[in-house]
Amino acid sequence: MSVKDYVVKSYQMTRVEEERQPWEQRVTETRYRVFDLEGNLVDDAQGYGYKSARNAHIGYSYKRQPEHQKTDKKLKRLVRSWCHKHADVAASIEVYVFDTLKSGQTLTVLEEKALFEGLTAKMSDVPFTAADYFKYR
């Protein structure tokens, strides 16, 4: 279990309900900000504050997402878009893998790599490896 190195604190914010008629009604809302353990402001939803403590935790944890997770998501989108553009190659790989598994055998990493490289040998626009393909397809 990870140790939290931040604190979510609430504050009161007053805003005007109707911008056109500022004398009409003022509304006081509770908003939330994220502070580190030393008391420095870390995140306040671009100055607006979060509407709930739960949203503050979610927003801050998303912003602190490790870089490798962000690159994994980009790579996954890249693989899927490539598969969409090259549906014939992706279908050939799927059929081969399905037939292999149906016969009771499994593919090793080397066999997957050989299959992928064999089908994409003449293509110059493959921006990922065979391992990435089989991980994110």
Over residues 45-71, the mean pLDDT reads: 87
Query: What is the number of structural domains in the chain?
Result: 2
For residues 49 and 74, membership in a common domain is answered with no
Q: What is the pTM of this model?
A: 0.53
Residues making up the chain, counted from first to last: 137
Residue of 98 and 2 predicted with greater confidence: 98
C-alpha torsion angle, residues 107, 112, 115, 119 (rounded to 10): 140
Mean pLDDT to the nearest integer, 114-134: 89
d(CA 85, CA 102): 27
Rounded Cα distance, 99 and 127, in Å? 27
> Over the chain, what is the mean pLDDT?
87
pLDDT value at residue 126? 87
pLDDT value of position 2: 63
Label each residue of 51-91 as H, E or C: CCHHHHHHHHHHHCCCHHHHHHHHHHHHHHHHHHHCHHHHH
Of the three residues 48, 64, 80, the one that is the final residue of a domain is 64
The 10 Å CB-count burial string (b at 16+, else e) for 38-62 is eeeeebbbeeebbeeeeebbebbee
pLDDT > 50? residue 105: yes
- Give the range of the structural domain holding residue 59, as residue numbers without chain letter: 6-64
Same domain (yes/no): 28, 48: yes
Residues 97 and 48 in one domain: no
Residues 72 and 130 in one domain: yes
Instruction: Evaluate the CA torsion angle 126, 128, 134, 137 in order and state its sign.
Output: negative
| Residue range 96-104: mean pLDDT, rounded | 92
